Amino acid sequence: MKIALCMKYVPILSRIQFDYEAKTIIREGVPSEVNPFDLLGLVRAVELKNSPDDEVVVISMGPPGAAEGLTNCVALGADRAVLISDRALAGSDTLATSRALSLALNKEQPDLIICGRNSADGDTGQVGPETAELMGLPHISHVRKLDLSDDRKSVIVERITDEGLQTMQCDLPVLVCVTEGVAPELYPDKEQMERAEGISAEEVTASDLSSDMTLFGAEGSPTWVDEIRLVEPNRLGVLLEGATPKDAAKQVADSVRQRLAELAGDSGATPEPVALPRYPDGKEKCIWVVAQTTSQGLAHVTHEILGKARELTQHTKSEVVAVLIAPQNDETVAALASQGADRVLVLDNSGVGPVCGMAVGSSLAEAVGKENPYAVLFSATADGRDLASRLAARLELGLTGDAMDLEIDVGGRLVQLKPALGGNVIAPILSKTLPNLVTLRPGLLSPTAPEPGATATVEQLPVAPIAGPDVRLLKEEFQEDQEGLLLANATVVMGVGMGVGSLENLTKVQEMARSVGATLATTRDVIHEGWLPQQLQVGISGRTIAPTVYLSVGIRGAFNHTVGLQRAGVIISINQNRRAVMFRSSDFGIVGTWEEFLPPLIEQLRPILLELSGA
């Protein structure tokens, strides 16, 4: 068996500095590392070898310096390393990158391809699914457990969703994107590195892959970045140390009231949502919204994206089309119409497999290719990212992943605002191709006012199974309390870290959170201990959230966590370690134990939090 591991050598984001006066990114002297998710994939690939004939080959695309990362991979057990490096590849977006990787992988003909869930510097997870689509292979993303079947002819995986877990199977060859939990974090020791340094990476240039240089680099990239916008730090950084629990609680509560008033004043009073004019006859420049459904009906993010689509049609004067990938349901259609859809396209996938499968992707691509809308908008969820990526590769379109907002400029172009480098940068992305494809982060946009009684025309989209292997859903497990779904739109969130000490203590903190209507969130380490489900993780490998108040309890505050809090309103932290980096990302911090300081703080904040949460 041959297993190929796609590796990206990424800058260590926490070491990047920003010059806010000059509005520049300071990259000089910033070291790089093997992308953490790719490293996990490598460890699992090596674990899956069970005979001398099995081979793990690591492929990386990047500058010559990426060879250092490949040496690390060989040190950890990879048999070969391939570096795709050429000036012609500079400026490649995800589609151009996927083209290069797919051409290199086709030469290798692996049985199994493993990618990390996403790269730490890109954070969109597009390259894996796009590469699979270009190779005509199925893929499974967000995989926390990866095994081979007894006959080693298929993979059996556990896939994380917003609601729980899916157990899936797919015949080889297949591409799998892995996340935390799939393997232990391992790093090479000195002896392993010394052995690996004698094994050079095989070098591949763009011309080795194709004679057509227009496939690569900036010319082969359908998206491009306009002038970036730096986001200056906006946390107050007030730290209370030495105060009594009662005094600290009162000071913080008074300050939070004042800060919330200031933030409301800066942004103006939040306007009540209104129903915007509809343009059901405007077929040109229509905007499609791919609905995200849950076991409980439409996900709230679908309402948010329909609201943004309706807002954009005030410029395009066109219809809003909702795509429902599920059996037709009158109640769901009515909800889509009420939230702004003029037309509903039903793609019934009940007979062909899950949303992330090849059959659904090819069916949606055919429909999009026929109507050529102005934009197709997806939610930045497991299914939304996968489907958007496959669609982009199949139709050779630009895709912006995990956007926070959309604008239409004076030239009628859709400007897709994407946070980057941990939220310190906003990158306005434009596309050379139509339709524009975008995935949008949940919890950051506002729905329009619902219009009860509104109707939408309903059309059926044809869907047919594909000829080759596709993903098969074996089992689906849902979280009982569905807190993962609530977290995306929660106004009050309490984050708990390892500093709470034990699972028993976490239960006590959770009770206090519920008493003020707060939704729970957590960090990677807590997930690894098995104290809370992964759906509650915030950060690079979890969710991005935007609560009005975030209360951090016993969280160290590593960069991997705080990048998911960039759009939180007020952040309050309690930690007994005054050097905890979480304080740097907070408006108000209390140095002390949670046992002493959290109960009185909750009591002082109770009226504020209950009002915000609506509890």
Q: Which carries the bigger pLDDT value, residue 427 or residue 363?
A: 363
Q: Which carries the bigger pLDDT value, residue 367 or residue 230?
A: 367
Q: What is the mean pLDDT of residues 563-571?
A: 86
pLDDT of amino acid 27? 67
pLDDT of amino acid 444? 78
pLDDT of amino acid 442? 83
What percent of the chain has pLDDT above 70?
94
**Residue by residue, what is the 3-state secondary structure of 377-443?**
EEECCHHHHHHHHHHHHHHCCCEEEEECEEEECCCCCEEEEEEEHHHCEEEEEEECCCCEEEEECCC
Q: What is the mean pLDDT of residues 378-400?
A: 95
Q: What is the mean pLDDT of residues 390-405?
A: 94
Q: What are phi and psi of 471, to 5 degrees?
A: -75, 140
Q: Give the separation between CA 409 and CA 415, rounded to whole angstroms.
A: 7
Q: What are phi and psi of 398, to 5 degrees?
A: -75, 150
pLDDT per residue over 250-303, tens digit each?
Answer: 999 999 999 998 888 765 545 678 889 999 999 999 999 999 998 888 998 999
pLDDT at 60 over 90: yes
| 23 — pLDDT class (breaks 50, 70, 90) | low
CA 595 to chain CA mean position, Å = 34
| 232 — pLDDT class (breaks 50, 70, 90) | low
pLDDT per residue over 112-158, tens digit each?
Answer: 999 998 887 766 789 999 999 999 999 999 999 999 999 999 999 99
Q: What is the mean pLDDT of residues 547-561?
A: 89
pLDDT of amino acid 437? 97
41 close to 114: Cβ distance less than 8 angstroms = yes
pLDDT at 536 over 70: yes
286 close to 341: Cβ distance less than 8 angstroms = no
Q: Give the separation between CA 481 and CA 549, rounded to whole angstroms.
A: 22
Q: What are phi and psi of 113, to 5 degrees?
A: -115, 130
Q: Name 435's Cβ contacts closer than 8 Å, sequence gap at least 6.
A: 288, 368, 372, 373, 374, 375, 376, 397
Q: Name 518's Cβ contacts closer than 8 Å, sequence gap at least 6.
A: 490, 492, 493, 494, 551, 609, 613
332: Cα within 13 Å, side-chain hemisphere? 23
- Cα–Cα distance list, 343 to 45, 134, 152, 414, 442 (Å): 46, 31, 46, 22, 23
What domains does the chain contain, in order, with CATH numbers? 2-221 (3.40.50.620), 230-269+480-613 (3.40.50.1220), 287-466 (3.40.50.620)
pLDDT of amino acid 15? 74
pLDDT per residue over 34-45, tens digit each?
Answer: 999 999 999 999
pLDDT of amino acid 422? 59
Give the DSSP letter string of 579-608: T-GGGGG-SEEEES-HHHHHHHHHHHHHHH
Burial environment of residue 90 by CB neighbours within 10 A (0 to 12, 13 to 18, 19 or more): exposed
- pTM above the 0.75 mark? yes
**Could you identify the residue written with the tokens 């240089």?**
213
> Whole-number mean pLDDT of the chain?
90
117 close to 125: Cβ distance less than 8 angstroms = yes
pLDDT at 20 over 60: no
Q: What is the mean pLDDT of residues 306-311?
A: 96
50: Cα within 13 Å, side-chain hemisphere? 6
Q: Which carries the bigger pLDDT value, residue 247 or residue 478?
A: 247
Three-state DSSP class for residue 531? coil
Residue 268's CB is within 10 A of a number of other CB atoms, namely 7
pLDDT of amino acid 267? 54
pLDDT of amino acid 421? 65
pLDDT per residue over 472-507, tens digit each?
Answer: 999 998 765 566 668 878 899 999 999 999 999 999
pLDDT per residue over 99-115, tens digit each?
Answer: 999 999 999 999 999 99
| 223 — pLDDT class (breaks 50, 70, 90) | very high
| 225 — pLDDT class (breaks 50, 70, 90) | confident
